[in-house]
Every structure is written in structure tokens, then in C-alpha cells.
Amino acid sequence: MATAHARRAETAPILIEDAAPRPVPLVIDLDGTLLRTDLLLEGIIALLRRNPLTLLLMLLWLPRGRAFFKRRIAEGAGLDLASLPVNAALLAHIEARKAAGQEIVLATAADELMALGALRRFPVFDRVVASDGVRNLKGEAKAAQLRALYPQGFDYAGDARADLPVWAAAQRVIVVGASGSVLRAARGLGKPVEEFPAVSQSRALLKALRLHQWAKNALVFLPLVLGGRAGESQAWGSAALAFLALGLVASASYLLNDLLDLSHDRAHWSKRERPLASGRLPIATGLAALVLGLVGGLAVAAWAGAAVLTGVLAYLALTLAYSAWLKRVPMLDALTLGSLFSLRIAVGVAAVAVAWSPWLLTFSMFLFTSLSFAKRHTELRGAVRRGQAGTIAGRGYEPADEPVVLAFGIASGLASVVIFILYLANEAFRHAMLAAPPALWIFPPILVLFIGRVWLLAGRDALHDDPVAFAVKDRPSLMLAGVAGLAFAVAAFGLPPGLLPKTFGL
């Protein structure tokens, strides 16, 4: 009896262990799946940011095949994969499957040099399979490689149409952040499907375009009114075309700036949440929107006339210079941003063909230079608060520069008020272009109140990074804007007949 019991004790665990099925490997794609970005495009942007002439070399690499092209990009880019955005939900799932004893494999069409960087960041992987400079491991090539490595089967997580052959070879389909058409095609394979939903790309794109910044382009209508053409529908149409052209080009330039600033934005406490930096907007989508915005904006500018096109091209050139270099030069960066606002007014002058006003152009430059300094001041106060030392990433400022930026910012704002008063005294009342120019005297106190509020809140750390975004949401600022708009309308069109006598009892 004892012998039989001992025999059962010896054999029972063996029978149970043999009966337990070993799970098939879980294979994970990298680009657009575990990482919310594309390593090849990241590498291309990094190389072009370092030296735009590298584009000529890229054109020579392409004819030698995608695998060779990826290898050269990987060798030169030197990407820091530790900062790239990751799909946290998928990573948690992978770690749970690893803890349950499942083998975890990274299979990517990215070059193996980049894949090894991912392995260092994510030690959860047991094996890496990647492109090697000769063979591009994508689509059918990846499916064939995985079938050869795991004839017993595997589960696969991917995101794109190119993953359909791999899903067809897999036992279980895991769809991560894919489009609706890809998800439907994956379900059509007739296999178990697990889905990690995609974030809204349309919402992310709208945020990246920064449509609220189009409010700045309303400056193109200023010369129309101050130039005495407010009653001409044709002039309003010309100004509207200039407004649209500047808006499209500006949105494209924001996308370009964000693409060139990816690494710096990801190191910033708030900018890392921008759509491109966070991976919520794919780089390919951002590039497509950039091209469409530039082409559309320049086409509209050309339709508005050669003078408007010249002004928009000047705006684009200065914006490109700012993105590539000037934003890293202290003080000059803020002055450049202020000059971009003056260019908007210049485009408005060109659109409606009125006389140039040096006072008005100088006023706008100083006002918006002050707001640009407010933005830098907010960034510097944040750096001081976090105990950051050294130059701020992507900028030329250091935390110790904060008092200087504060002084120049307030001085620029007050200078803009003085210049506007000089404009009123020396120009606005000397021409019969406005119906009621005295109404413009309300602007100096409104400017003082607005500028004072911006800098007061900046000192309290209560100002948004972007003063324009702050102004369009801040109730007191909107109230001041409403009063200014009413005064502007009165100055341009005058009061309705009989209203003034009734108001004053005359």
C-alpha cells in the first residue's frame, strides 16, 4: 500500500506537467505598435535637422534598397530610444504575458541597430528579429521568417496593412492602434482578435495645426479698417484671402517646427504632450498635412496677388529661419516672433493696397515681442521651479536669465503703448480715413490693462505657455478685446445717426 502511494506521488506531478500546454511566443511589432512613432522617419528627421544637405545622400542611398537605406539612417541618426513615446497599455499587456511564462519576441522592419536599442529599453524581450541592411523584414518576409522560427505557431501584435500576411500566419491577432479598414481586414482572417484602440488622429491633427493661433492673422484686417476701406466688399475679400493664406502657411510651419523639435519637446515638461511629440499624431500624417498646408497656402496667396504672395513667402522664410536657428538665439528669438506679427500687418497692407504705417508696424512688433518674452519667462520660471540647471533644451536661455527676460518683456509692452499713442497723435487724426478716430483713444488704457494682466499672471506662474492661447480663453482678456473691438468699429464706421445726441441728451 505504501509502495503504491509512493508511486502515485512520483508520477502525478510528471503527468500534470506534461499535460500543461506551453504557450506559443508572443511576437510584437515596434513601429506604430509598441512605440507610438516610426523609427525610420524619426531617423530621417534627426539627420536633416543636423544637416539638411544629408537629403542629397539619402537620394543616393534609396536606389540600393530599403534595407540598405534603413541601415544608413540608423547608423547616422543616433536616436535616443529612451525618450520615444510608448503604448503603455500594450507594454503592460506584454509584461503580464511575460510574467505568465510566455516567450516575448520583438519582430520589426526597423533596422536591427535600432531594434537593439529597443531591446535595451525594454528588457522584457527574449529575442529580436529585424531588418539587417540586406533584407527588409516587412510583410511577407516577416511572416516567412516567423513561420520558420516558430513552426508551432505564434501570436502577433501589429498595427498596419503590411502586417496582414503576418496575422494570416499567426494563431492569434492583436491589433494595436490600427485604422478601421485594417481592423476589418484583420477580423476577416477568421482568427481570435484582440484590439488596442487607436487614439483620434483627427483630433490630434486639429490640435497640431493650432487653429486658435489663426486669431493672430486677424491683424491682416487692421490696415483695411485704418486705411479707410472698411466699406468695400472687394477689399474685405482680398483681406480674407490673405488671412486664409497666412493661416494655412502658419499651421504648416507649426507642424515643421514640431517635427524639428521632437527630441527637445519630449524633454520639456509640457511640450511632450504635443500631438507629434507624444505620438498621438503619426509623423507621416504630420508630414502630409505640412505639405498640403504649404501648397494650399501659397496657392491662395498667389490667387490674392503677387504682393500678397511676396509677403507670405517672406513670412515663411522668416519662420523657417526661426525654426532652424533663430529660436536658439536669446533675445533675438522673441524679436523674431514680434517681427512675424508685423509681417502679418504688412501682408494686410499688400492685400488691400493702402498706405504703409511705420507706427503701426512698429507698435505690433513691440507688443508681440512682449508677449513672446512672456512665453519665455514662463518657461524659465518653470525651469527655476524644477531646479533645472544649464541651457533649456532647444533654447538659448538659462534659468538665471529670468530677471532679464522679465525686464525686457515689460519694457517692450510699455513701449508698444507709447508707440500707439504716437501713432494716434501723428497719423490717425491727420487723415480722413476713419469715421470717428477719437474712439481709438480707448486703446492705450486697454493695452496697459492687458499687458499688465499678462505679466501679473506670468509672475504668479498662472500663465499658459502660449499667451495667445491664454488670451482666447481668459475672460478678462476677452472682455477687453470686446471693448477694443467695439471702439475699433466706432472708429471705422462711426456711431449710427442720432445715437450720440440721444446718449448725451442733446
The pLDDT tens digits of the residues spanning 112-126 come to 999 999 999 999 999
Upper half-sphere CA count for residue 382 (Cβ side, 13 Å): 18
Topology of 203-504 in CATH?
Farnesyl Diphosphate Synthase (1.10.600)
Parts of the chain belonging to CATH 3.40.50.1000: 21-198
Q: What local confidence, expressed as pLDDT, does residue 205 receive?
A: 95
pTM of the model as a whole: 0.83
Q: What local confidence, expressed as pLDDT, does residue 459 receive?
A: 87
Q: What is the mean pLDDT of each run of 10 residues along the chain (506 residues)?
A: 43 42 90 96 94 93 96 93 94 96 96 94 95 95 96 96 97 95 95 92 93 89 84 92 96 94 84 93 96 97 96 95 89 93 94 88 93 90 75 79 94 96 82 75 94 91 76 87 89 67 43
Q: Tell me: domain 21-198, CATH 3.30.1330.60, correct?
A: no
Angstrom CA distances, 424 to 108, 368, 421, 441, 490, stand at 65, 19, 5, 8, 15
Parts of the chain belonging to CATH 1.10.600: 203-504
Q: What local confidence, expressed as pLDDT, does residue 498 receive?
A: 55
Closest CA to 363 of 425, 413, 437, 431: 413
Q: What local confidence, expressed as pLDDT, does residue 432 receive?
A: 53
CA separation for the pair 235, 212 (Å, rounded): 24
Upper half-sphere CA count for residue 387 (Cβ side, 13 Å): 0
CA separation for the pair 250, 103 (Å, rounded): 48
Asked whether 349 and 223 are in contact (CB, 8 A), the reply is: yes
CA separation for the pair 279, 86 (Å, rounded): 8
Q: What local confidence, expressed as pLDDT, does residue 264 receive?
A: 85
The DSSP letter of residue 163 is G
Alpha helices in 62-163 (DSSP H): 66-77, 88-99, 112-121, 140-149
At residue 400's C-alpha, the angle toward residues 395 and 405, to 5°, is: 70
Residue 125 belongs to what H/E stretch? none
pLDDT tens sequence across 269-312: 778 899 999 999 999 999 999 999 999 999 999 999 999 999 99
Handedness of CA 10, 16, 19, 23 (dihedral sign): negative
Q: What local confidence, expressed as pLDDT, does residue 11 receive?
A: 41
Q: What local confidence, expressed as pLDDT, does residue 466 receive?
A: 74
C-alpha cell at 486: 467695439
Asked whether 132 and 112 are in contact (CB, 8 A), the reply is: yes
